[in-house]
Amino acid sequence: MGASGAGGPGSAGGAAALEAALAAGEVRLEGAGLTYRFTRSLAGGGLPPGEVTAALPAARAAGAAFARIVATGETAGMTEPVLWPRVLDDAALAPLEAFAARARGHDLVLSVGIGGSYLGNRVLRDALLGPGWNALPRAARGDRPELHFTGQHLDPLEARALLPLVRARAAAQASAVGGGGPLRVLVLAISKSGTTTETLATTLGLLEALGATPGVEVGLAALTAPGSVLSALVAERRGEALPFPEGIGGRWSVLSACGLVTAALTGVDCRALLAGARAAAAATAAASAGGGDPARDPALLYALLHHLHGRRGRTGAVFMPYAERLRCVSEWYVQLLAESLGKANDRAGRAVHAGRTPIVAVGTTDMHAQTQLHQEGPKDKTVTTLDVLDWGPATVADRVPEVPVAGALAGRTFGALNTLAREANEEALHGSGRPSDAWLLDRLDARTLGALLWTLMASVAYEGELLDVCAYDQPGVEAYKKIMRARL
């Protein structure tokens, strides 16, 4: 499997291949079901193709640097290994699947985490199961527990709101015909250090509150480093400790045990997810042999184009999926881009204050909210859309009936209308000199989602190399943590 488009397999990755790809306007990962279209990122107020081809040496250097990271797990500026690009093989899923089987008898799983320990898990649930997963009856969930997220903030009202839900579930179970026994709740804490303020505080608070709730049987499990506070807490309560993956920071962890644990619990096809990621990784590896080749590697081309947009002052990065199930992909991408590239200094210690500002927008919802700004406001941003080409057969719920009052809408499917809205938005932006590009999934399934997530992570890694910043540390985050610790 490989990338199709100009400069196919065996391409030297030269300027002619890149020029041909730019003329074609898209690069596709055939085996991954993923296409990157970028014509409107170039003309009409975007980037002159000559400027892109002139940056090819920098792109090739970034590709070579990323290939070294993949091969060695090492990069300048990090003493810890960088292992996220090494996608898990199926055998590595066995411990997660065994844990999921043991935990399946629970009624509720409360996943406690923040940042990448929350967002990656949320992406997989929302995209592949839907935000309304918990509202389905247990049989419709494949006889699996509800999955709730908490600890991603310190909002006291939200923390309190979880308890009435648990009490109501416990009361309903107790009053069921024949008696359902106690409500079994599993608290699943995810924190590498085991001392993350939000995670530790929420875990301790939940254990105390749930332990005092009649009709509730509470268990504890954690993904954390051995010897951490969380690890000791799990041992004390005779829970289950799962090892936090080595060399994988939170925002890069969605395709590791850290992100896959709740997917396994809820029956997501983790093997297909990883197969899609491996397909994207293989295409990147083939394209980067001897140096990066943006003509065959959509992750590198996306990074290069947006790096050049940033140099022209377009540092606002609107990421706009056209699906409610994909909203969380945009929220996940916010952390990935902001925390990885927002750096005061480059690797040589020079002040650069690098980074682009990611902005969450969602399809037609935000065409009625943000598009006025995108269309007529400052020319300081790009818009990247994300859409699905095949939503499957339409049903009566997502097709406009053939009735006179429907007018031109009669008989149209929501999927077709959704795509029409996206294309109209892109054309309007283009007409106003505002660059946009698009990621297109053949369908929304585990394989294509795995390919997309890996590709977006690779694009941020590439952009870090183009900026010559370390994409894997977070000194700005450590600054506020130090202040908090001093004041506790």
Concerning whether 153 is annotated as a catalytic residue, the answer is no
Concerning whether 192 is annotated as a catalytic residue, the answer is no
**Active-site residue identified among 146, 339, 426, 463:** 339
Over the Cα atoms of the chain, what is R_g?
A: 23
Whether 314 contacts 484, CB under 8 Å: no
How distant, in Å, are the alpha carbons of 170, 172, 178, 181, 196 from that of 175?
9, 5, 8, 9, 38
Place of tokens 């107790």: 174
Q: How many CA atoms lie within 13 A of 140 on its CB side?
A: 8
Concerning whether 339 is annotated as a catalytic residue, the answer is yes
Q: Which tokens hold the place of 234?
A: 């799990």
Number of neighbouring beta carbons within 10 Å of residue 434: 23
**Active-site residue identified among 30, 51, 80, 481:** 481
Transcribe 359-424 into DSSP letters.
EE--HHHHHTTTHHHHHHS-S-EEEEEEEEEE--S--GGGB--S-GGGGGGTT-BHHHHHHHHHHH
Bin 234: left if φ > 0, else alpha if -120 < ψ < 50, else beta: alpha
CA distance 126 to 141: 14
End-to-end CA, the chain:
53
CA distance 390 to 376: 32
> In this structure, which amino acid lies at residue 459?
S
Q: Chain centroid to CA 278: how far?
A: 16
CA distance 173 to 192: 35
Enzyme catalytic residues: 339, 368, 481
